[in-house]
Amino acid sequence: MLEPLTYLNGRMTPVSEARLSIFDLGIVLGASVTEMARTFRHECFHLAEHIDRLFRSLKYTGFEIDMNRDMLMDLALDLVRHNAGLIPDRHDLGLVLFVTAGTSLTYTGLAGMATHKKPTVCVHTFPLPFELWAPKYEAGQHVVTPSIRHLPPECLDPKIKARSRMHWYLADEQARLVDPQAISLLLDSQDCITETSTANFFIVEGGRIVTPTGRNSLAGISQGIVRELADQLGIPFEQRDFQTYDVVNAEEAFTSSTPYCLLPVTRVNKKPIGNGLPGPVFQQLLEAWNELVGLDVAEQMQSGAAERIAEFESQR
């Protein structure tokens, strides 16, 4: 049986054989930066923007890798071409790139100097798990604001897409105590809305799309696409601070994220948003996104989910 390939530290290897050192600072300290792109019809979508953002994170953290943007782009495209041949034509891949700070001298001593400041570089893919998101296009998502707060920008600049994410894990665990299907929506120290663990957040207020500023949330690639589509549709778009009160009283809400593009949010802290159903602005944006990528995103998720679930059941 053919197996997907992974790039790790200069070598292409079957994914089952890829090994990360237990001394790696990505594990020891969470010292790792990352990006995730996806394919549509097996072609990478906005990969250049993701790689540009990765290199900005690398420059800020001081991780010096042996590849430039073009080399990393070519490597990623080659990997996608190979691995896409192992999935059904109507399915797509997530593409992950991550870089760590190297290995920890605490565990290796002077014998580990060669890898201490030599970053680990990994590029891998995975079949998009459509079944995780498909039901939410109709039912929407439930977001919960937990007691855990977003890391302030004084601690970690939000423009860095990092994997130091224990606070997100704990926040999502808190949210699931309220509703096993809920996700966390973090507030900052001033009670302003920030983002979810994997997505930018938006409300619709007076026909205007409102999303948090980049002061303490990551400026998402998909968030930028929402803004472009809103401009095309003539929908006003604004970035500013707002609070849970505004979410509760919004006309509608939604999130944007690379793997699923857009998903409606229909409840916050057990309260319905608007009429508790996906709203018309969300639907307009999703239709525009479909045109942009040349396929029906929700239909792909729903049909792909049914196929993946059927395959899973047949193998049990």
CATH of the domain at 232: 3.20.10.10
Number of domain units in the chain: 2
Co-location of 175 and 47 in the same domain: no
Q: Do 117 and 159 fall within a single domain?
A: no
**What's the pLDDT at 116?**
87
User: How confident is the model over 123-175, as pLDDT tens digits?
Assistant: 999 999 999 999 999 999 999 999 999 999 999 899 999 988 999 999 999 99
Cα(168)–Cα(186) distance, rounded to whole angstroms? 9
pTM of the model: 0.95
Q: Are residues 215 and 296 in the same domain?
A: yes
Residue 122 sits in the same domain as residue 230 = no
Among 128, 157, 181, the domain boundary falls at: 128
pLDDT value of residue 1: 57
Which residue spans within the chain are E strands per DSSP?
A: 5-8, 11-14, 32-40, 43-45, 93-100, 121-127, 141-144, 183-187, 193-196, 200-205, 208-211, 237-239, 252-257, 261-268, 271-272
Identify whether residues 165 and 260 lie together within a single domain.
yes
**Strand 121-127's sheet: what is its strand order?**
11-14, 5-8, 121-127, 93-100, 32-40, 43-45
CA-based torsion, 271, 274, 276, 279: positive or negative:
negative
pLDDT digits (tens, 9 = 90+) for 13-62: 999 999 999 999 999 999 999 999 999 999 999 999 999 999 999 999 99
The whole domain housing 25 covers 5-128
In a domain, 314, yes or no: no
Same domain as 278, residue 144: yes
> 114: pLDDT confidence band, cut at 50, 70 and 90?
confident
Q: Are 36 and 124 within one domain?
A: yes
Specify whether 12 is located in the same domain as 85: yes
User: Which amino acid makes up residue 79?
Assistant: L
Q: Read off the CATH number of the domain in which 46 is found.
A: 3.30.470.10
